[in-house]
Amino acid sequence: MRRLIPSLLALALLTACAGRSGPQTPPPSDAQRLLAAGQQALADEHFSMALGRLQDARVLARSLDDTETQIRAVMGQIDIALIREQSDTAAALAGTLDALARRDGVSALTRAQTTYMLARVDAAHGRSALARQRIAPLIQRRDALGQVARLLDCRELLAAGPSNCAEPLHASEPLLNARIQRLRAEAAVHDHQAEQAMQWLESARGLYQQLGQRTGVAATLETLAQVAARAGDWPRACDAMTRGLGANLGIRNAPAARRLVGSLAQHCATEPHRQAVLDQLRLALPEERPARWHRAAALLAQYEATLHSPAPARPR
């Protein structure tokens, strides 16, 4: 059930950075412009472009001794690593982030955002207690950062067992509302209410879809597949797996894509010709070498075509 909150902090950072230029402030530096471009690419889920812009911003900000811009660039890089389930990369970047945040002159808002991001890394490594300890001061805030901190705290509570923490959560912002619905789905699973959980997940997926938020769609479909499978609703589970695989290929999340290919092969591809396509797809997503994304997408299209055509006749 556990998938990371997708890019909410990136949007909060964009909001926090918006409108800073004015008659009382100097124009942004080249490093700050690169950072803004990287944050926008991250919000738009153009992750490869975002990584390039954020790395360029880090390098230039380091040469300018601009700690705030370095911190924000590293947070963006961690966000992408977490979305793609690259936990080792996120952990390495977290050490850099922590060191930068300890420097003199870092603003209180930036320190608070850093604390939230470090808590996300802790959560990704299963250090739930430490994550909750970090964000304890943040959940009292009444801004966007406080909202996402409360969502993270609730997610960690639900990971440990049943909780009603999602019941009082409300948000007018659709992206936050979608995440709340996913948390309510997790609570429903704990209460053995699979159908209610799937309704919450379908609602969340619809919100993500309307927003064009592919990361949220991908995570929600994988969770929906898991819940449907546990409920024994295999047609729904297999459909969600197939759609989730396409979404995860779109955002280049290799670990999730490999999980879904394995689940499809084990539970859904009963015909040999479908198994053969999935075997080829698995080879396009090796663990030790770069994935062949275009090849994987083409094979998924081939697999989907087999779902709408009769199985080839067996030779006599």
| Residues 133-145: tens digit of each pLDDT | 999 999 999 999 9
DSSP 53-107: HHHHHHHHHHHTT-HHHHHHHHHHHHHHHHHTT-HHHHHHHHHHHHHHHTSTT--
Mean pLDDT of 29-40: 96
Rounded alpha-carbon distances, angstroms, from residue 127 to 122, 131, 244, 282:
5, 6, 27, 31
Q: Which residues pair with 6 in a beta bridge?
A: none
pLDDT, residue 14, reads 42
Q: Which residues pair with 25 in a beta bridge?
A: 22
In single-letter form, the type of residue at position 269 comes to: A
| pLDDT confidence band for 26 (50 / 70 / 90) | confident
Residue 77: pLDDT over 80 = yes
Check residue 7 and report its DSSP letter.
Answer: S
Round the average pLDDT of the chain to a whole number and report it: 91
Burial of residue 84 (CB within 10 Å: 0-12, 13-18, 19+) is buried
Residue with the two structure tokens 């390495």? 92
Which residue pairs from 235-240 have beta carbons closer than 8 angstroms and sit at least 24 positions apart in sequence?
A: 236/198, 237/267, 237/268, 238/264, 238/267, 238/268
pLDDT, residue 23, reads 52
Mean pLDDT of 166-182: 93
Residue 12: pLDDT over 70 = no
Angle 254-267/272-283 helices, nearest 10 degrees? 160
Q: How far apart are CA 262 and CA 239, in angstroms?
A: 14
pLDDT, residue 13, reads 44
Residue with the two structure tokens 């690419």? 41
pLDDT, residue 310, reads 65
Least confident of 2-16, 107-121, 204-218: 2-16
Q: How far apart are CA 15 and CA 11, in angstroms?
A: 6
Q: List, in order of start, the domains of the chain with CATH numbers.
A: 1-15+29-160 (1.25.40)
DSSP 184-226: HHHHHHHTT-HHHHHHHHHHHHHHHHHHT-HHHHHHHHHHHHH
Residue 311: pLDDT over 60 = no
| Residues 250-274: tens digit of each pLDDT | 999 999 999 999 999 999 998 999 9
Mean pLDDT of 168-185: 94
Tell me what percent of the residues of the chain surpass a pLDDT of 90: 85
Rg (Cα) of the chain, in Å, rounded? 21
Residue 180: pLDDT over 60 = yes
| pLDDT confidence band for 7 (50 / 70 / 90) | low
Q: How far apart are CA 132 and CA 110, in angstroms?
A: 19
Q: How do the residues of the chain divide into helix, strand and coil, expressed in percent and rounded to 5? A: 70, 0, 30
Mean pLDDT of 65-74: 97
Residue 21: pLDDT over 60 = no
Q: How far apart are CA 220 and CA 210, in angstroms?
A: 14
Residue 76: pLDDT over 60 = yes
